């Protein structure tokens, strides 16, 4: 079951510069900055209104985030929804015909993650996350 909005991710070219900008806007520093090798990204998280804003920078050419920025520029990249059972949610969505980018979970910055294809969600890339208990 989907529990809540977890975060909104913003693709950025320069994580440090963007983190300084968002720190000025929000008035708080990021609570977590880390590299996610499985996704080839660096991320910074800012808590906001019961969810988070994630700044995400692609590492290296050919990275999906770098490709996104090259095609569309910096901006909103995806929304993430927290689920209580990632594998069960993926099975339910696949059975309902929702196009998936990932059929199983993989390690992410906040737990096990999987992505839904944007063509099944009005052009919006959706990430699902199951946080550790």
Domain holding 92, by residue range, is: 2-130
Mean per-residue pLDDT for 96-118? 95
Domain count, the chain: 1
Q: Identify the pLDDT of residue 76.
A: 98
pLDDT in tens, 75-90: 999 999 999 999 999 9
CB atoms within 10 A of CB 9: 23
Q: How confident is the model at residue 60 (pLDDT cuts 50, 70, 90)?
A: confident
pLDDT in tens, 20-44: 999 999 999 999 999 998 889 999 9
Q: Identify the pLDDT of residue 39.
A: 87
| CATH of residue 93 | 3.10.180.10
Q: Identify the pLDDT of residue 61.
A: 80
């Amino acid at each position: 079951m989907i529990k809540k909005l977890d975060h909104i991710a913003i693709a950025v070219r320069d994580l440090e510069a963007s983190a300084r900008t968002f720190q000025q806007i929000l008035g708080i520093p990021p609570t977590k900055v880390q590299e996610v090798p499985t996704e080839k990204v660096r991320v910074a998280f800012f808590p906001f209104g019961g969810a988070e804003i994630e700044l995400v920078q692609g590492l290296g050419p050919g990275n999906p985030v770098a490709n996104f920025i090259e095609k569309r520029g910096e901006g909103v990249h995806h929304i993430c929804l927290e689920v209580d059972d990632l594998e069960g949610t993926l099975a339910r969505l696949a059975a309902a015909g929702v196009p998936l980018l990932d059929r199983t979970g993989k390690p992410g910055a906040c737990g096990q993650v999987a992505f839904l294809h944007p063509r099944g969600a009005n052009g919006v890339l959706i990430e699902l996350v199951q946080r550790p208990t």
